[in-house]
Structure 1
Amino acid sequence: MSTGVPLLDASTDSDTPLESGFDEEFIMSQEELDDPETPHIYWEYCFFFNKKKWEKVITTSLQKKLVKWLKGLSNAGLKINKTTTKTGKVFYEIGATNELLDHWAEHNLNLNVKLKDQPRPDGKPEPMFDIYSIKYVKYEAKNVSQYRKNIHGSVFTPIDRQKIISRIMMGPKTEQCCEINFPRLVQQKIISGFWSTHDYEEFDSLIKKWSFSWKTTQPLDEVRDYFGERVAFYFAYLGYYTKWLITSSIVGFFLAIGNMSTTKNDNVFHTLWSIFIVFWITLFCEFWKRRENWLAYHFGTLNFWEEEDQRIEFEGTKRVSPITDEVELYFPPWRRRFRMIATYSVVFATMVCAAAISIGINKKKIIDNDRHKISTGENIWRGSLTGAAIFILNMLFQPIVEKLNDWENHETDSDYENALILKLFLFQIVNTFTSLFCISFINPEPAYLQSQLSALLITHQIINNFQEVGLPWIKAKVKNYLDKKKGKESISLIEMESSYTQYENTVDDYSEMMIQLGLVSLFAVGFKLAPICALANNIIEIRSDSYKLKKMKKPPPKSARNIGTWGIILEVMSYLVILSNIALLGITYDDFSRDEDSKSDLSDTQRVWLILFIEHIIIVVKIIMHAIIPDVPSTVAIKIARDTHFENLKKSGKDTENSMKYVPKLLSSRDSSSENENGNQKHYTSSSSSTSSEEED
């Protein structure tokens, strides 16, 4: 099988326009597709164009380039299937057989694959997280019977296939790849679209276990295998956060009942709840780090470090790199810094506008000090109006910040995404929490804070769920009704999929959950039942977020070892929760007493010093807890140490029969044969351990 890509030179072609059927030699015929003897083909990518529009603007040289691309893909061993629809769209699906995947996995990418579950050599059953087990190894075709297989009988997961085929299509010619930059072709409007297609047999199987199941655990292994680590980490975080809400919901419920049942003029329930919530979020952050590292090891990405290519949208001038001596695009850092000053000035201005709107809606309470003249119904109405305004402003701001972020011209995807996260989250924090801050600290009123916080939280959840589930459902129903009314014929899956929105990243999903966590914890004293509302929402959110992926194009295949910048935001928020709740408790002390005779004799200065004293004590305790609780679980630490030990033994050639006691047989036999054939040192590679369990011990 040829893996080279001898591309055509357009300069040698005649200027004769291409005739119908010019691509027949590169695409699979219907007979080949229907032939039962044809090996199974995994269709992973598709690009298309509108034939009528394309023919109007396309030149002969661009038509020849299309031939060049198809020929290159075909010569690389990829399979191509062409579909022309009645609407004039031409789709080219790109896939590969197991034979090609085998070749690239072993010889070009050094891909890691999962081993089958194997019993221990001593015959004892394998424990939930066996420190001696090895589950990920470098792929070798001769050991294929030892690897875990998927629904199609292949050892390669959907994300593996996606990465291999993507590399063949878009990798550099120096690595015998086609070097076709499909995303840039879309950007330049040479083709209408390019995306990774769904494997509906595998996806439907996953959705049944995931979206339509009410089990407490998610099939994270299968999510990772289908969507990649970045998406899997988001759902892992969402599931873990939801489980932690159970504890806070129970405690908050009983404290709320106790607060309503007492007639005493004291702050005991508010104080207990504040102390509980600051330690709850501290423990949540610490144990999430453990879970995160467990998952990274479980997914085989603990030591992952991605050397990123330049973004497709990155613009610069060509120069010779002083490091590699190769031609590269260069954009002076000082110019980016100048642009960032301008963009953050705009972001700051929009934050001021959002804060002004939020204060304006609640002016009667915040500025006019109309403390007791606002009814409960009006409180809830104003809270709901504030929630709706927050949603509208977030929706209006997002395209603005994306344009500003594009203008900054970041070189890599991670730099671009981190800059986008910072701008979006800064705006959303100010937009969401300004009214609560003013109600809590400028003119404190517990009853109004409670109604405002509850209305904001519930409105936030209703609007987001409607946007993610309700609106797409209504659109689908309306479209089906109109299609039936017009007598339109049903369209193919590939054409339907081409109209789906691209799922680019998890930024919006994480942002929604972080804002919810802020509403639950930053002003926890105000609404003890907030965790219950969040818990009920998240149980549905897990299912709705997973189901919406069915109506979106698959995200790009990206690896990850953690939740990235969101982990830093989570840590910062845990400190803000301490400061906010202790300050809220101290500033509203007299209001909570609800008795003029029991007002504190503390002066404002004394109260500030007391707040700072308590806040510092809790921060010291938080730091001590951080030092005591290790970020890496002991089972993972032992496993990493053993992997390192085996690696060192293999490199030194000093491994003994005892040291290999618990290593799967195929590794020992493979290494022995390798040593006999080549006379070299034995080669051993293990990137990770995996278990069938979804939970950390």
Structure 2
Amino acid sequence: MLPEVDLVITFRVSRKTSLLKRHALEDARKGEEQYGRLMKALSSAGLRAVARRGESLGHLLVFVSCPTEHVHTLIKRERHSDFLSGLPTTPVNLRKDEDEDVPLAPADRIRLVHASITSMPSDGGLGISPDAPEWDLVESVMALHDREFNEHWIHAWTTSRYVSVKQENLREQFGDSVAMYFSFLHSYTKALVFPAALGVLFLLFRLPVLADILHPHRPLLSLRFGTRGSFRVEKQRARYIDGFPWWKHELRMIASLPVILLFAGILVSILTGIFVFEAFVTQLYTGPGHKFIAFSPTVLFVLLVPRLLEVYQAIATRLTAWENHAHQSSHAASLTIKTFALSALVAYMGLALSAFVYVPFGEGIMRMVQVWLFKGSVRADAAADTLNTTAALNATEHTKGIWNVDTSAAGQKLNAARLRDQMFAYTVTNQIVNTFVEIGLPYVLRGVESFRARKANGNGKGDKGKKRVVFEDEKEKGGEEEREFLEQVRKEAALPEYELFGDYSEMVTQFGYVALWSTIWPLAPVMALVNNFFELRSDAFKITVHNRRPIPSRTDTIGPWLDTLSFLTWLAAVINSALVYLFCPRSQNHCNAGTGAAPSTLDKVHQHIISAASASASRDAHAPGEDGGAATRELLVTALLIALAASARALWHASEEVRTTERGEREVKRRFLENIVGAADVVAVADIGVNGRSIDGEEVVLDPEVVPEKPADDLDAAEGLGSFWDHDEGMQEIQRLTKEA
């Protein structure tokens, strides 16, 4: 019978790969002291804990199990805290004649035990967290997958129209945050059905209300999950500096803005330079290797943009930590906004330049680039264009071996399908690549790692060969079943932690493509709908196979992503109205600035750019034709006014269900009070810290039901698992590390 494990603490004695003997001994002594302190803290809190060897020398897996009595204590403490903070603690549909308690979901059990271990002593926890300086050898606190549920989820994909299981079942296994993500993805996918079916005709009418479709769905979920207002009881971060003035926190957040703007400016400059090089310069080069010069913008992008984003991400992480957020939700929201701001620039900058620069003014800009790069040749060509056609051909012939400088053919060098090709690449090709990176690439990487391990074992090198002896010892002590269990735990410990940021970022970015640029390619909603059908399943597969089990957390919102969606919705109204104005057929009277045959403002600006190129080539001080500056200002002002006029959107108001539930909260509290022994216990439990001490450090005397009990010795015997919980390998592994030194 396998042991019932709630959490696994990964503990690494040494974080270094190569050490001197003196350093190894110091690390071993430090590891022994911290490991002993860890086991003592867990035991004194009423938890069962035992260690097993990990995947390498000095790596330990500390298995933690919470007795049922202590779980009831944690439930009672949380309910008391929720009640005092005004949170619903009993399901609103609970009937009074129901005698049986609502069963505790696996995610809630994991969340309660995880919070009791990782939260700060001021919040009633042990403070054992990888972020805490006094626990720097603790790598992570992870939960193990429920393999039976995962297999059921994967098997049900073939028969379910959704993600295989009900929303409530997802919440019971992975917590509120993961359940809300899949609910958001499902709602967003359903919202794509109408624009995918009707195409561009109703696209502009749908965009301003799509975020409002998602907006009311969020509070309904928080009511259904019982997490509305959960931010009031959120635990403090391990690295939060208590007593920090609020105004200093706000000033530090404002101080981050110049850094964001600086990197945004650098990124825009790089992307604009790559755009000009790719859209114009590569089209003019006709010399040796011109077939390969088209790949140079991609090479430049790969070399420059990821490096810049990597540096920015490191700085943004430091800035967010420097801001000293009290709670993890606000910390994550601040980092999310910083990170997604530049990611959105990378995603949408190319399309914006193509839509607002390349397509309407491409021919004029192509001539300007020719003038800028090849002034002498183009000057002769431009002068001959107005005086002598033969001379122009001779000038072009003189340089056609390397560059095409014939300005009369500038328009022929433009790619009329550029915007459509870009949209196809972003909405189809990129999605396929992302799916492979999420699903296929981890298999490839694990295969490479397995090959290297087998090669090292075959040559008698590396730590893997030593691990075989360890496995034989485990087989003698725990049996084959325990050996397989430990091997599975080691595999899960080697997996990366699951981060919701990547999945949310991918979907919000896709929403931006559909909302901002679908007027360019009406099939974008169709491609997004098809992608999301597979995305629902690939994300579920990624969680169950390629990542650790998510640690459940209480939340009543999707965080800063809702504000991001609202902003993109507003921006979509601005951009789409501007695009409609710019690309409106010039033959239609309502698109022209004047009447009949009078040229439009767009035509005036275009002619101004072409005239400026010709004037620069011929060194004429004045461009021929009309006042291009006035036409440019007229175009920009008109487009801006039309865009702002179209950006109004309706505000969401609380639904009747929300108001009804708010009126029922008093009834929820009344029912909850029926389970409380006394008001004094409620206040005492709310102030409890670690080991019966309050936040102020004073001794608190409580009812015996509230104080956590030590795990009884007969519990292991009743479960038949004494051999697993009695045998600890932690100190043995640390002593092995000392011997290896």
**TM-score, normalised with respect to structure 2:** 0.63
Q: Report the secondary structure of 1:526's partner residue.
A: coil
Given residue 220 of structure 1, which amino acid in structure 2 is its aligned partner? Q
Shift of 1:214: 4.4
- Find the aligned partners of 2:64 and 2:185 in 1 and give their Cα distance: 34
Shift of 1:493: 1.7
Partner of 2:173: 226
Q: Report the secondary structure of 1:431's partner residue.
A: helix
- Find the aligned partners of 1:84 and 1:402 in 2 and give their Cα distance: 34
Partner of 1:122: none
2:120 and 2:236 in contact (8 A); partners too = no
Partner of 2:9: 46
Which runs of structure 2 are paired with 1:57-96 in the superposition (5 Å)? 57-58=26-27, 60=29, 63-85=32-54, 87-88=56-57, 89-96=59-66
Q: Report the secondary structure of 1:156's partner residue.
A: coil
2:144 and 2:489 in contact (8 A); partners too = no
Shift of 1:527: 0.6
- Find the aligned partners of 2:637 and 2:246 in 1 and give their Cα distance: 52
Given residue 299 of structure 1, which amino acid in structure 2 is its aligned partner? F
2:130 and 2:136 in contact (8 A); partners too = no
1:362 and 1:435 in contact (8 A); partners too = no
Given residue 80 of structure 1, which amino acid in structure 2 is its aligned partner? A
For the pair 1:571 / 2:526, whether they are aligned, the reply is no
1:293 and 1:631 in contact (8 A); partners too = no
Q: Which of 195, 204, 207 is residue 153 of structure 2 equivalent to? A: 207
Q: Which of 323, 338, 361 is residue 410 of structure 1 equivalent to? A: 323
- Find the aligned partners of 1:341 and 1:617 in 2 and give their Cα distance: 29
Given residue 303 of structure 1, which amino acid in structure 2 is its aligned partner? G
Partner of 1:640: 662
Partner of 1:477: 447
2:189 and 2:529 in contact (8 A); partners too = yes
- Find the aligned partners of 1:135 and 1:387 in 2 and give their Cα distance: 57
For the pair 1:500 / 2:500, whether they are aligned, the reply is no
**TM-score, normalised with respect to structure 1:** 0.67
Shift of 1:245: 1.5
- Structure 2: unaligned runs, 5 residues or longer: 17-22, 84-89, 361-415, 459-463, 469-483, 603-630, 681-741
**Cα deviation digits, residues 361-380 of structure 1 (max 9, x gap):** 53328x9899xx9xxxx9xx
2:54 and 2:60 in contact (8 A); partners too = yes
Change (3 A) 1:678 1:238: closer
- Find the aligned partners of 1:202 and 1:329 in 2 and give their Cα distance: 49
Q: Report the secondary structure of 2:100's partner residue.
A: helix
2:13 and 2:28 in contact (8 A); partners too = no
Most deviating of 550-559 and 330-339 = 330-339
- Structure 1: unaligned runs, 5 residues or longer: 1-32, 35-39, 114-131, 148-154, 253-272, 322-327, 651-666, 681-697
For the pair 1:448 / 2:418, whether they are aligned, the reply is yes
- Find the aligned partners of 1:190 and 1:565 in 2 and give their Cα distance: 30
Which runs of structure 2 are paired with 1:498-537 in the superposition (5 Å)? 498-503=493-498, 505-537=499-531
Q: Which of 423, 430, 440 is residue 338 of structure 2 equivalent to? A: 423
- Find the aligned partners of 1:646 and 1:188 in 2 and give their Cα distance: 44
Partner of 1:106: 76
Change (3 A) 1:569 1:330: closer
Q: Report the secondary structure of 2:228's partner residue.
A: coil
Q: Report the secondary structure of 2:92's partner residue.
A: coil
Partner of 1:603: 601
Q: Which of 162, 181, 191 is residue 216 of structure 1 equivalent to? A: 162
Change (3 A) 1:387 1:83: same
- Find the aligned partners of 2:527 and 2:598 in 1 and give their Cα distance: 34
Equivalent pairs, count: 543
Partner of 1:242: 189
Given residue 639 of structure 1, which amino acid in structure 2 is its aligned partner? T
**Cα deviation digits, residues 594-653 of structure 1 (max 9, x gap):** xx9998754356766765565455444x33xx3xxx543433433333x146369x4xxx
**Cα deviation digits, residues 325-372 of structure 1 (max 9, x gap):** xxx79995487358525532542343234423441353328x9899xx
- Find the aligned partners of 1:389 and 1:157 in 2 and give their Cα distance: 51
1:44 and 1:161 in contact (8 A); partners too = no
Q: Report the secondary structure of 2:259's partner residue.
A: helix
Most deviating of 241-250 and 161-170 = 161-170
Q: Report the secondary structure of 2:519's partner residue.
A: helix
Shift of 1:477: 3.1
Change (3 A) 1:410 1:232: farther
Which runs of structure 2 are paired with 1:344-363 in the superposition (5 Å)? 344-363=260-279
2:71 and 2:109 in contact (8 A); partners too = yes
Shift of 1:212: 5.8
2:6 and 2:143 in contact (8 A); partners too = yes
Shift of 1:295: 1.0
**Cα deviation digits, residues 286-306 of structure 1 (max 9, x gap):** 111121121111111223224
For the pair 1:543 / 2:454, whether they are aligned, the reply is no
Shift of 1:188: 7.2
Given residue 467 of structure 1, which amino acid in structure 2 is its aligned partner? V
1:469 and 1:544 in contact (8 A); partners too = yes
**Cα deviation digits, residues 142-171 of structure 1 (max 9, x gap):** 988342xxxxxxx22232122221233234
Shift of 1:307: 5.0
2:6 and 2:113 in contact (8 A); partners too = no
Q: Report the secondary structure of 1:48's partner residue.
A: strand
Change (3 A) 1:475 1:211: farther
- Find the aligned partners of 2:679 and 2:564 in 1 and give their Cα distance: 52
Partner of 2:105: 157
- Find the aligned partners of 1:508 and 1:68 in 2 and give their Cα distance: 36
For the pair 1:280 / 2:206, whether they are aligned, the reply is yes
Most deviating of 301-310 and 232-241 = 301-310
Q: Which of 581, 584, 591 is residue 589 of structure 1 equivalent to? A: 584
- Find the aligned partners of 1:364 and 1:568 in 2 and give their Cα distance: 37
Given residue 100 of structure 2, which amino acid in structure 1 is its aligned partner? S
C-alpha RMSD of the superposition = 4.4
- Find the aligned partners of 2:305 and 2:46 in 1 and give their Cα distance: 47
Change (3 A) 1:172 1:484: closer
1:206 and 1:223 in contact (8 A); partners too = no
- Find the aligned partners of 2:6 and 2:36 in 1 and give their Cα distance: 20
Q: Which entry has the higher C-alpha Rg, 1 or 2?
A: 2
Q: Percent identity?
A: 18
Bigger relative contact order (CA 8 A; separation at least 6) = 2
Q: Report the secondary structure of 2:192's partner residue.
A: helix
Change (3 A) 1:301 1:563: same
Given residue 243 of structure 1, which amino acid in structure 2 is its aligned partner? K
- Find the aligned partners of 2:231 and 2:573 in 1 and give their Cα distance: 34
Larger helix share, 1 or 2: 2
Given residue 225 of structure 1, which amino acid in structure 2 is its aligned partner? E
- Find the aligned partners of 1:614 and 1:52 in 2 and give their Cα distance: 59
Shift of 1:564: 1.8
Shift of 1:242: 1.3
Change (3 A) 1:202 1:102: farther
Shift of 1:105: 0.9
Q: Report the secondary structure of 2:64's partner residue.
A: strand
Shift of 1:429: 2.3
- Find the aligned partners of 2:143 and 2:253 in 1 and give their Cα distance: 38
- Find the aligned partners of 1:679 and 1:579 in 2 and give their Cα distance: 56
Change (3 A) 1:216 1:173: closer
Change (3 A) 1:461 1:386: farther
- Find the aligned partners of 1:544 and 1:157 in 2 and give their Cα distance: 25
For the pair 1:194 / 2:115, whether they are aligned, the reply is no
